[in-house]
Structure formats: structure tokens, C-alpha cells
Amino acid sequence: MRLLSHHFSSKDLLHMVMCSSTWLSKVQPLSAWCNFKCHYRTQQPEQGRKQSQAGEEQKQNKKQGPSIGSPARIQKLIASQSDPLLAKEIFDLASREPDFQHSYATFHTLILKLGRSHQFSLMQSVLSSLKSHQYSVSPSLFSHIIQIYGDAGLPDKALKTFYTILEFNMKPLPKHLNLILEILVSHRNFLRPAFDLFKSAHKYGVLANTTSYNILMRAFCLNDDLSIAYSLFNQMFKRDIAPNVESYRILMQGLCRKSQVNKAVDLLEDMLNKGFVPDALSYSTLLNSLCRKKKLKEAYKILCRMKVKGCNPDIVHYNTVILGFCREGRAADACKVLEDMPSNGCLPNLVSYQTLVGGLSDQGMYDEAKNYMVEMMSKGFSPHFSVVHAAVKGFCNVGMLEEACEVVEDILSHGEALHTDTWGEIISRISEWDDAEKLGNLLEEIIRAEIKPETRIVEVGARLGEYLMNRIKSKSRKG
């Protein structure tokens, strides 16, 4: 288009681009540039075309004045272009026309179009051109520019945009500050520049708010600078900036990450005393940390108080405490936690049951493990093969073969398949009572059935289970 501008006036070029767009708009939404090229190829030879065009232009100027279109029409044409470079060419052509002035909407549209296509140098040139006009610039324009730089991974340019806002005789808003801070702290090397901007923002009339503090607190906690995060938290009260639930949670997570769980509990108490209602994530963080530090009594106490303090415990909270008790060999206490769940409006899930059954098996409480396994299957949950194997192996190890076979029978009756190792565990325990070769053939049949998962696995398994039960009962009567 620059080459053609030597032969055409900018008004002529824009007029033909817009005309060609109008002619083809009802046929196909092609770009204006392609339309213009098709139009240009059909024109008369160069010399005659220039003469007739000049004459026609003089007539038009006398009758109607400039005819390149209104600012609104140019803005619409630029907005319709999928190619940002073509949009910039159209913008430049219109800019060269005497007495033509783009609308603010045109600047806004073109700046964002160039920025989102990573044409940053062109975007800045249009932004500089906008600065020379006396438009009232929308704050949202700078929010978009900051986000564009953030998405492109250019924190330095996002930071520079803060000072660009000042060049437009505008005062940056807290949302501009917070957006820049979020972008800066996401890059470890820009944590210090973010902190410097945070501390100096008030000089430019921008007051940090709760969100600003939260952004910096989280960043310093993740950077293991807990003392700075704590200092920022205390600073909020001195400056009459009210912390929110997120502020407390960020600091609690930082304390738990540093294994300072007692301070985190104190912070929870302070939070409750000030009338805040901790959210579910705050409690999850604290319960998990308490359980890992083996402070199970404190964890259970907090779990019981949650509902009273306005936050209903959910499945994550209960499962965290159940796991904590089972890890410490206190499966009986874990059973109590599971039994409390329905009365508090939370039903156990697969994880709840499997954790508990595994914990009971590890402690040799096989009867209780079997009962909870039956209960979980009655609720439609399928136990993991490792949980079943642990229970069966446990019964076998203490000589309770009949109970082991009952577990197998329960599993098979619910349509579940046993792992080959579980079959081997039972058969090896009773091989002294039966023909080893016969049992080996039966086990081989089971393995083949498991390789081809069809309904006959249940049938074959049920027959084996029934066979084992009958053999055990028969031996018991003879003994």
C-alpha cells in the first residue's frame, strides 16, 4: 500500500478500500485489502486513470468536500480487519488527510489490536500519537495494555505502563497497581521491583488496598520471607486497612508451610475473635498441618468447632482427620470421626472408607475392617484391590481362614473381581488341606478369567469361594 500511495492520494486509497468493502460485503466478508487489490487491477492505464481521477476529485471536492468517510466509519473499518498491520496502514492513511481526526474509539481499538498480536512497537507509536490528542482516556485501556504485557511475559513493560499512565495526566487506579503487582510477583526476579512500587505508589496518589497487601503477602510467603509477610499483615492494621479472610488464610498457609502450626492456630483464634468466618480452605490448611505434626487432639477439636463457627466441615476436612488418625495407629478414633459425619450433613465417600479399612487392617482389627468393607460396598463403592488384599492377608496371617473366605465371598457377591495375589494368598494357606495340583489348576483358571474380564470371572470366583468355604467348614467339623 505504501508503493501505491505514490500514485494515489490517501483519500483515493481509503475511498477505494471502503468502496470495495461495500461492494463485496453482501457476497463474502473478505478483507478490505484483498478487495482493494482486485479493484485496482481492473482500473484503466496509469496515465489516463490519474488524469480522470484528478478531474473527478476536483469535481467531488467542489460539490461535497472530503469523501474518505467519517471517523466512525474509519473506526469500523479498522475494527473489522483481522490483520493488525493492515489496520495500522488504514489508520496512517486517514491520519495524513488534512483536517481529519480519528475518534478515541479508533485509537483504543487499534492499540489493543496491535498489542494482542504482539506488535508492541507499533502499539507504542499509536499510544504516543494518542497522547498528543486531548481525549479523555479510559482507564480500561491501560488495564488491557498491562494485561497484554502480562500475558506476553513482559513484566518490565507492565511496570513501565504504570508511569505511562502518569504521562497522560491520569492518576493510576488501585486496580492498575494490583494488576501490575500480580504480574511482577509471578516472576521471581521482579519481587523486589514489585515491593518498591508498592511502597512508592502513594507518592502518585495511588493507595494500596487489601488486595495489594494480599498479593505481596502471598508472594513473600511463597518466597520463604515469612517475616516480611507478617510485617505487611501488621501494617494493615496500623494504616486502617481491614484484612479479609484471604489475608488470614495466606498468612496461615505461610506459617503451616514453615511448620509453625501453633502460630497458625493462634491466628485462627484471633480471626474468630475479630468476627471473621474462616473459609473451607483455611481449615483444610490448618487440619492438614496439625495432622502431619501429630496434633490429632487439636485437629479433632477444630473439626468439631467448625460448624459452630459458621463453616460446615466438608468431605476433605473429615478425610484429612481420618487419615491423620489412621497414620498414627488410632483407627478406632478414625471410626468415630466417620460415624459423626452423617449427623453433620456430610456422607463418607470412597476415600473415607478405604482409608479407614486400610487403617483397621494395619492394626489387626480385621473384623471391623470387614464390616466397613461390606458397608462401603452396600453404598455402591468398589474397594481397591489393595484394601481387599490387606484384609484377606490379615485374616490368613492369624489363621482366620473362614473369615478370609467370607471377605472373598462378599467381594464376589457384589460383582467385584479379586486380584490374583489375593487368590494366591488364600489358596496357599489351605493347600495343606487339599490336593495342591487341583488347587493350582483352579487358580490358573481364575487367572485366565481375569485376563479376559467377562462375567464368568464372578461365576468362577464364586465357585471357588463356595468351594473354599465348604472345605474349611468340613475340616472344622472333622476337627
Which of 86-95, 217-226, 255-264, 393-402 is predicted with the least confidence, judged by mean pLDDT? 393-402
Nearest to 92 by CA among 65, 122, 60, 133: 122
Q: How far is 12 from 9, CA to CA, in rounded Å?
A: 5
Mean confidence (pLDDT) of the chain: 82
Residue-level pLDDT at 315: 97
* pLDDT tens figures, 188-200: 999 999 999 999 9
Question: What percentage of the chain exceeds 70 in pLDDT?
Answer: 75
Residue-level pLDDT at 454: 45
Q: Is the pLDDT score of 7 beyond 70?
A: no
Question: DSSP E strands: which ranges in 108-233?
Answer: none
* pLDDT tens figures, 301-313: 999 999 888 899 9
- The conformation of residue 380, written as its DSSP 8-state character, comes to T
Residue-level pLDDT at 453: 45
pTM to 2 decimals?
0.77
* pLDDT tens figures, 309-344: 889 999 999 999 999 999 999 999 999 999 999 998
Confidence of residue 401 (pLDDT cuts 50, 70, 90): confident
Residue 175: exposure state from Cβ atoms within 10 A (0-12, 13-18, ≥19): middle
Residue 411: exposure state from Cβ atoms within 10 A (0-12, 13-18, ≥19): buried
The segment with the largest mean pLDDT, out of 4-18, 249-263, 451-465, is: 249-263
Q: How far is 144 from 54, CA to CA, in rounded Å?
A: 44
The segment with the largest mean pLDDT, out of 180-184, 378-382, 440-444, 470-474, is: 180-184
Confidence of residue 413 (pLDDT cuts 50, 70, 90): confident
Residue listed under C-alpha cell 468476627: 275
Residue-level pLDDT at 465: 58
Which of 244-248, 256-260, 399-403, 441-445 is predicted with the least confidence, judged by mean pLDDT? 441-445
Provide the CA 216 distance to its chain's centre, in angstroms: 20
* pLDDT tens figures, 84-126: 999 999 999 999 888 889 999 999 999 999 999 999 999 999 9
Question: What percentage of the chain exceeds 90 in pLDDT?
Answer: 61
